[in-house]
Amino acid sequence: MASGSFVHDVDLKLDHWEPSKEELMVLSAAMHRLAEKELPFERLEVDEAVAMDIFKDNKYKVKQIPNIAAQSRTGNMTRSTPVDFILCYYLPFAGKTVTLYKVGDHVDISRGPMVANTNFLGRRCTIAAVRTWVLLHTLRSFSFLHCC
């Protein structure tokens, strides 16, 4: 992926969608309006259980969270000290964290780092392409490529 671009995957619950040039322009205009708001990106480090609760209605995120938490800096306790052993035994989610980012009302999982606020996306940020992914022959996910 080129520097200055990013991808966001979305399940739109659509069977087939090929966005027109006009639709891409409308989505890009929404990105411009978002940039003008200068909304801050807030980094949130939450326990695995909290992340599971936040995304309980998102089957994709629920599948990702345990692996992400296990790879977190605090999620790799060695159990070599009595305290680590006790925490891992009595509190199964103890020390396992997931990094989230919040912008406006939207919260998502990301390793980051992120820019300070939406203004850094630039008013020239456009949605250049949308790719359809077919998962398990039935589930469709769309990847939006943003170029800034």
35-84 pLDDT, tens digit each: 899 999 999 999 999 999 999 998 889 999 999 998 876 544 444 556 55
For residue 101, the cross-strand partners are 43, 108
Cα separation, 134 vs 15, in Å, equals: 10
In sequence order, which residues have a C-beta less than 8 Å from that of residue 119 and are 6 or more positions away?
35, 36, 38
Reported as a single tens digit per residue, the pLDDT across 70-119 is 887 654 444 455 655 555 555 554 568 999 999 999 999 988 888 889 88
CATH number belonging to the domain at 42-114, selected among 3.30.54, 3.40.50, 2.30.29, 3.30.70: 3.30.54
Q: Hey, how many other C-beta atoms are within 10 angstroms of the C-beta on 6?
A: 16
Q: Can you give the pTM of this predicted structure?
A: 0.69
Give the residue with greater pLDDT, 134 vs 130.
130
Q: 20-44 burial, b for 16+ CB within 10 Å, e for fewer?
A: eeeebeeebeebeebbeeebbbeee
Q: Any idea where the domains of the chain sit in the sequence? A: 1-39+117-148, 42-114
Residue 141 pLDDT exceeds 50? yes
